[in-house]
Amino acid sequence: MDLMEKLTILADSAKYDVACTSSGTYRAGDGVHLGNCVSAGICHSFSADGRCISLLKVLMTNFCMYDCKYCVNRRSNDVPRAAFTPRELAQLTIGFYRRNYIEGLFLSSAVLRSPDDTMQRMIAALRILREEYGFAGYIHAKTIPGADPRLVRELGLLADRLSVNIELPSERSLSLLAPDKSRAGILGPMRQVRIGIEENRYELVRYRAAPKFAPAGQSTQMIVGASPETDYQILRLTQGLYRNYGLKRVFYSAYIPVVADRALPAPGTPPPLLREHRLYQADWLLRFYGFEAEELLCEEEPNFSPYLDPKCSWALRHLEQFPVDVNRCSRQMLLRVPGIGAKSAARICAARRASRLTLADLKRIGVVLKRARHFILCADWGVRGTAAATRAQVAGALLDPQAFAFGCEQMSMFSPAPDAREAKQEAMAWIERQM
């Protein structure tokens, strides 16, 4: 098998790994090494000057000793198999970089023979890149659960970001769909990476020349829709991962049925992309808006609305906390107003020191008034002095009319577009039932 055939197989096998991540580290070119690593981002991200920065996403091998039911590369699945040698992968990466095709590498792998053997192959490839070719660009590497801690440490000294895929949201689903893996085997390396990053911070303070360990932190990926867990369970797990393991990002991957199994959605079932989108929105609220998972969902209401984003849903359930005066309230409360984002809240806090803000000022700042006006007071706008809008009217204003050009169902490439009016009526009926 030639190199192009291997690349075709192993790049296609890697498409289910989520890697749309900013680099999170800065390592400028020094005139000696090849490439540089900046915080603007990697993998189809865009830098400040508008350049698209791309990443080679590939597997070391898709030969696998495990038989995870949801995985296209599982042992019992009949698919073409291939494996790179460490030098082949290093030469391919450098060749693509020199042709300006890529600016970094995302390296994952199926488990060939054993976790230690697979990790040694990945480390050998990265060592050739770093030491022999002097490559200083961004590298994101997936650690293999069950590998020797010394190998995890060695990989972290070569890569910018490490990640350990948690795969499924519960231990029960993991034992059912991936019997060769365990929760402890996944969380162990994750804990080791967190400790390694913390220890490295102290080393760098004491010794400026100390080697950096995973300077861009660690992340993980969770499959959504392959198992029966609710959004509430997934969000609580996400919150725990951020707090206990110091993750930079949790990525969600809508399950695409690729194999037939009674324990999984049938092939042809549309992937739950809308659900994945809602989880990303909620994840943003956890990380930057000060929300708790228990505020956004509960056991009685365990899944997100398909019609409203999580922040709007929370605001509708807590109308007693509104309206808030944008000229007086705290930044934390501003962040909870629909239509006000993190940047807008910071601008409001800065601008109100000079004068009382009006609706026109808020519009210039970037506040989405169509949403926010139902929840705020300002110098020339007072909700209390006007006819109070009903909860359903407020909900109607929070719905995005452009979303109903395609409806709230999961669309396929050739599906006919549903009637937008019917979709909006369905949404309003759902909201009124919830109230």
Burial class of 393 by CB neighbour count within 10 A (0 to 12, 13 to 18, 19+) = exposed
**What beta strand segments (E) does 285-417 contain?**
324-325, 376-378, 381-382
Is 177 part of any domain? Answer: yes
One domain, residues 320 and 192: no
One domain, residues 152 and 24: yes
Is 258 part of any domain? Answer: no
What are the phi and psi torsion angles at 160 (to 5°)? -85, -40
Is 92 part of any domain? Answer: yes
Within 8 A by CB and 6+ apart from 220, the residues are: 163, 164, 165, 166, 190, 241, 247, 249, 250, 251
Considering 160, 195, 221, which residue would you say is the last residue of a domain? 221
For residues 79 and 73, the answer to whether their CB atoms sit within 8 Å is yes
Task: Locate 137 and state its tokens.
Answer: 């660009």
**How many structural domains comprise the chain?**
2
Distance CA 340, CA 348 (A): 10
One domain, residues 324 and 212: no
Is 243 part of any domain? Answer: no
First to last CA, the chain: 62
Is 301 part of any domain? Answer: no
One domain, residues 44 and 156: yes
Considering 180, 199, 221, which residue would you say is the last residue of a domain? 221
- C-alpha distances (whole Å) from 196 to each of 27, 69, 203, 214 are 20, 32, 10, 8
> Would you state the pLDDT for residue 358?
94
For residues 276 and 224, the answer to whether their CB atoms sit within 8 Å is yes
Task: Locate 90 and state its tokens.
Answer: 């290093």
- C-alpha distances (whole Å) from 434 to each of 180, 305, 315 are 42, 10, 14
Q: Which residue has the tokens 């976790």?
A: 115
Task: Locate 246 and state its tokens.
Answer: 């110091």
> Would you state the pLDDT for residue 31?
57
Within 8 A by CB and 6+ apart from 315, the residues are: 322, 336, 337, 338, 375, 398
For residues 237 and 190, the answer to whether their CB atoms sit within 8 Å is no
Distance CA 79, CA 142 (A): 22
Is 248 part of any domain? Answer: no
Is 419 part of any domain? Answer: yes
- On the CB side of 392, CA atoms within 13 Å amount to 11
Instruction: Output the tens digit of pLDDT for each of the chain's 435 residues.
Output: 788 888 888 888 887 776 555 444 555 555 556 555 543 333 454 444 455 557 888 899 999 999 888 888 888 888 899 999 999 999 999 988 888 778 888 999 999 999 999 999 999 999 999 999 999 888 999 999 889 999 999 999 999 999 998 889 998 998 899 888 888 889 999 999 999 999 998 888 888 888 899 998 899 999 999 999 999 999 999 999 999 999 988 999 998 887 788 888 888 888 888 899 999 999 999 999 999 999 999 999 899 988 888 999 899 889 889 899 999 999 999 999 999 999 999 999 999 999 999 999 999 999 999 889 889 999 988 755 334 456 667 777 777 655 555 455 555 545 555 556 666 677 777 666 655
One domain, residues 46 and 156: yes
CB atoms near residue 361 (< 10 Å): 20
Range of the domain at 363: 310-434
- C-alpha distances (whole Å) from 406 to each of 152, 172, 308 are 46, 36, 15
Considering 194, 221, 248, which residue would you say is the last residue of a domain? 221
Distance CA 384, CA 373 (A): 12
Task: Locate 406 and state its tokens.
Answer: 């395609």
Name the nearest CA neighbour of 401 among 434, 364, 371.
Answer: 371
DSSP-H helix ranges across 78-210: 86-98, 115-127, 149-158, 171-177, 183-206
CATH code, domain with 152: 3.20.20
Is 20 part of any domain? Answer: yes
Within 8 A by CB and 6+ apart from 364, the residues are: none
Residue 20, amino acid = C
**What beta strand segments (E) does 306-406 contain?**
324-325, 376-378, 381-382
